[in-house]
Amino acid sequence: MKPRNFVFIIIAFLVGGVGGGIVGSYVSTRVVSGYVENSTILGKAVDTQTKVGLLQKIRERNYNEAIELLEVTLDGDIVSLRINNENTNQTTEAVKKAITVARDYRTVYPRHTKYPDIDAEIMNILSKQNIE
């Protein structure tokens, strides 16, 4: 093989490798960002429906039902904060503040559902003295 052809092949491999890396990086970034965007939109869709339901209950003076719906969503948020914290091994100041505020609220307004396992999990999350 002539040195010129060998150099051409090496350059072709390098260009192909770099080009493939760029394309692969672009495609994977688009896939991940699409997933995150879809998850965010789905969350906003659920939040919107919950807020409309709450507003309807308040306007109809069904305060106890509105409070119960808020309590259920608070339980879900508390569990989500714990799961996110365990997955990232990082607790931001905002997460610490949210858990502290929820703990203070539940101290004044304790709640028990018909699901003892969920109640225990919520109490476990809120009872941790130091949120890491």
pLDDT at 44: 82
Domain ranges of the chain: 1-60, 62-132
Question: Buried (b) or exposed (e) across 42-70, using 16+ Cβ within 10 A?
Answer: eeeeeeeeeeeebeebeeeeeeeebeebe
pLDDT at 102: 94
pLDDT at 109: 94
pLDDT at 88: 60
Tens-level pLDDT at each residue, the chain (132 residues): 555 555 555 565 555 555 565 656 655 666 556 665 667 788 888 888 888 999 999 999 999 999 999 999 999 888 888 776 665 666 678 888 888 999 999 999 999 989 898 899 899 889 875 555
pLDDT at 46: 85
Rounded CA-CA distance 95/125 in Å is 12
Rounded CA-CA distance 99/88 in Å is 16
